[in-house]
Structure 1
């Protein structure tokens, strides 16, 4: 049939799906962590590998390698073999880093334990993962690790040894491998596969006990390497790490991202201290600084902030929770971190899936969490159907690739709930993939507020309120409302406690600039937010506390 005179029209092309895969010219590393460390030692034996500012101790790569090997031999002499679980329950210190690399040498599985854990949490992790040897701090602030470890031992039949850092048994452990054959570690390492489990990290669940994300050499070594590669690390870089080592931010994006580029790890303090962090940057001429947004806010808020010489900084990473655009802009302008990067991820994905690039403009580096890293896939799906949505449409962000965990330790059912048959990890985060492939996270599925049938994303309101002159920090949550189902509560920390914002001032600030249904109807002025040790705000506590009386 001739088309002449036909009234048929060509259908519009289908919308671009919210899917992207990371390409690059650099291949994945096929190393184990130990073999990768050997490459850095061979290439740069005399460069600084690790500096502990509080104690003044320093290691070159050659010296760090020797101490890692001594500890690995000591662990082996104490009966630790490939696949055995070794717990590390400590604040940030050089020994934490030594344990990380020594267990990797042996193929033992290091289990990260949150230093904030108390007895019932510690007992659960020790038993659930089957830890045989526990390396722990002695005490820090209100935590008496020695007393707590002694108390739970009777309830943990698999735990056969506890070694406290700094006690005589630590020295015995380190020196205990002298009787092993000279080639013991080389023989052990030759038997290791990069796909074997090397690390268990417990995710901080909001209800019930946490799950142990089990990660391989391949998972975390590659993720650390590509995060470091994206910010341009080389052996010239010195990276200040005030973030906790027990979390992926510290030990993967930090330690492994640093040593895989033969750069230097700088420990500013056992736990986050804003002044100690800036002193370490100044003293060690650090080129990179890590932190969650609340850490950068605390550093910028120091009364003597302007007195620190931060001119050596060029880059860094802000991650762990949504990064406010206003804070990011100040970090770039006032901390000299022009190349600072935002990373997005989760423990189960080793952790980073998307990251901003060094040459991204300000808008991309403040309004998105970047684009997918090399060798990783991301997509945004309808949470109810699992179908990939068009770009520009909110949905659940999913990740697939080398970075997806092996599974939750000894919990196949919970693994199957998180990782589908196609090996996609479902993050639980609501996101939008833009036309250019960059991703904006708009909240958690469980945090989304449904007000009178309208979907409200707290992140959008938070970003807007960060620009209020009286607000230093803000968290938005939904609270029950008889008429609308949920109403919007803004919890704020004022810039000046003596002059906090009022609800009327917040409403006036929003008027005509936010849709009426997004304007907070309740306000709470707080001195601080409830936080996890890794610096994430516990929104569930805010909701629970204020649901009955917003």
Structure 2
């Protein structure tokens, strides 16, 4: 590997790719040389704001050029990036910011009609202000083993845990990701995956600067806007959840793919989910211009662990998540749980040695919480989720967290949540509620959407006189189906 740290890789892009376009965000167009200059300047702003080596700062904002400059500027100042989910409500985000120990929170006020705040005593800086351009060019020495980011992911109890990853882990894994996905220098990468997620930040921004791809950030997925950008900017790389490809294929002929738009530039598709219809993969490869389609399996605690390979059949790409990445081992425990071991496994959960020891055993095997099997070719198939977690449009939803929110409603005595199939989003949340007093389904859904991220909120509610319980008082969710 050419570089030891993310700042080294990012700043070297100026020498490697020079005047080629690095970022296109609306009217803003930055070359790799200009991006490196802005990153150095932002690093100076962070240093002048008191960010020292190892200090954490949070970015709670949608995909944008400023997000990229802030993230890379922060790590260039020696800081540690804490991305925060833009779908979180203030209470959810505040908990992450507080427990991360972030010294600053960078936001984009007004996104999704939300005013972003932070816990008392933590300064809030608008990304669209002049903060990022206010510093003197600066770079602080860090090492490949230093922690580069802390990305929070909900645990099975619903309490988010901060996953610590180093510079070297990230660079090695996403250099390989570029190879497996078939990306090239000069590719134009439309990033619809949110930057607060590993898929958007590491398999997106970091991968783009490793390879020399132009980043086109999209803050909210809108199929018409995406088609416009693909046609106008000659986009070649478009990864996303299966929802993205469903949406592209579903566009009516009078305004979409079949209406004479030129989307012939599209070449690379990357997706991942527990169960992708074989027919979807077949349609993506026959009705859309993609010539390279990769599916993979990853989690915040280990990044991309497995990926399909060029030449895999539609069946293999759709029904398995490929074989392990270089330096990564995968095995199936006696109870069917998928275990992962290798250099890419997290350094641990922030300030939570107990949870770390529970997740990673003495031999270095990470318990993923997913159930799976390996075929004769060593390809991994994800069968289910050990502790009920389900995925809505690419986002993990943990029933315990949603149930806790529902129980705060004065009319709810008991609540249980499961994921049910949805053609567009893969799965959506369905709640079973024992009411304390009369309450309408619509009222409870609206109440939920005000208090939690939209993808977590129930789409339907079934009222019951009682929930099926086992001998220890736990809800038997298989009986709810």
TM range (shorter): 0.7 to 0.9
* 1:5-404 equivalent positions in 2, closer than 5 A: 28=1, 30-52=3-25, 55-145=26-116, 149=117, 152-154=118-120, 157=121, 159=122, 161-166=123-128, 170-171=129-130, 173-178=131-136, 184-185=138-139, 188-189=140-141, 192-205=142-155, 207-267=157-217, 269-303=218-252, 304-305=255-256, 306-307=258-259, 308-319=261-272, 322-349=275-302, 351-383=303-335, 395-404=336-345
Partner of 2:358: 417
Contact 2:80 2:150 in 1 (8 A): yes
1:445 is aligned, of 386, 393, 413, to: 386
Q: Deviations over 1:93-150 (max 9, x none)?
A: 11111112111212201101111121221221121010111110111223222xxx1x
Q: Distance in 1 between matches of 2:37 and 2:243?
A: 37
Give the drift of 1:322: 3.6
Contact 2:41 2:133 in 1 (8 A): yes
Q: Secondary structure at the match of 2:221?
A: coil
When structure 1 is superposed on structure 2, of 293-302 and 74-83 the one drifting more is 293-302
Contact 2:67 2:127 in 1 (8 A): no
Partner of 1:466: none
Q: Distance in 1 between matches of 2:275 and 2:172?
A: 24
Instruction: Indicate the structure whose relative CO is greater, using CA pairs within 8 Å and at least 6 residues apart.
Output: 1
Q: Secondary structure at the match of 1:336?
A: coil
Q: Distance in 1 between matches of 2:167 and 2:361?
A: 22
Bigger CA radius of gyration: 1
Contact 1:223 1:253 in 2 (8 A): no
Q: Distance in 1 between matches of 2:460 and 2:332?
A: 27
Q: Distance in 1 between matches of 2:298 and 2:42?
A: 31
Q: Distance in 1 between matches of 2:274 and 2:315?
A: 18
Change in CA separation of 1:121 and 1:338 when aligned onto 2, cut-off 3 Å: same
Q: Distance in 2 between matches of 1:490 and 1:126?
A: 31
Give the drift of 1:286: 1.1
Q: Distance in 1 between matches of 2:280 and 2:182?
A: 23
Q: Secondary structure at the match of 1:245?
A: coil
Q: Secondary structure at the match of 2:239?
A: strand
Q: Secondary structure at the match of 2:53?
A: coil
Partner of 2:370: 429
Q: Distance in 2 between matches of 1:492 and 1:44?
A: 43
Give the drift of 1:542: 7.5
CA-based RMSD of the aligned residues comes to: 2.9
Give the drift of 1:544: 7.7
Q: Distance in 2 between matches of 1:537 and 1:441?
A: 22
Change in CA separation of 1:546 and 1:105 when aligned onto 2, cut-off 3 Å: farther
When structure 1 is superposed on structure 2, of 224-233 and 129-138 the one drifting more is 224-233
Change in CA separation of 1:123 and 1:290 when aligned onto 2, cut-off 3 Å: same
When structure 1 is superposed on structure 2, of 82-91 and 438-447 the one drifting more is 438-447
Q: Distance in 2 between matches of 1:320 and 1:59?
A: 33
When structure 1 is superposed on structure 2, of 271-280 and 299-308 the one drifting more is 299-308
Give the drift of 1:174: 2.6
Q: Secondary structure at the match of 2:332?
A: strand
Change in CA separation of 1:85 and 1:124 when aligned onto 2, cut-off 3 Å: same
Q: Distance in 2 between matches of 1:427 and 1:194?
A: 25
Q: Distance in 2 between matches of 1:205 and 1:61?
A: 38
Give the drift of 1:237: 1.1
How many residues are aligned here?
415
For structure 1, the 5+ residue unaligned runs are: 1-27, 384-394, 449-457, 460-476, 478-487, 496-529
Q: Distance in 1 between matches of 2:135 and 2:59?
A: 20
TM-score, normalising length: structure 1: 0.70
For structure 2, the 5+ residue unaligned runs are: 392-398, 400-417, 426-447, 468-479
Q: Deviations over 1:66-88 (max 9, x none)?
A: 11111111111111111111110
Contact 1:51 1:266 in 2 (8 A): yes
Q: Secondary structure at the match of 1:260?
A: helix
Give the drift of 1:175: 3.6
Contact 2:13 2:33 in 1 (8 A): no
Partner of 1:14: none
Partner of 1:10: none
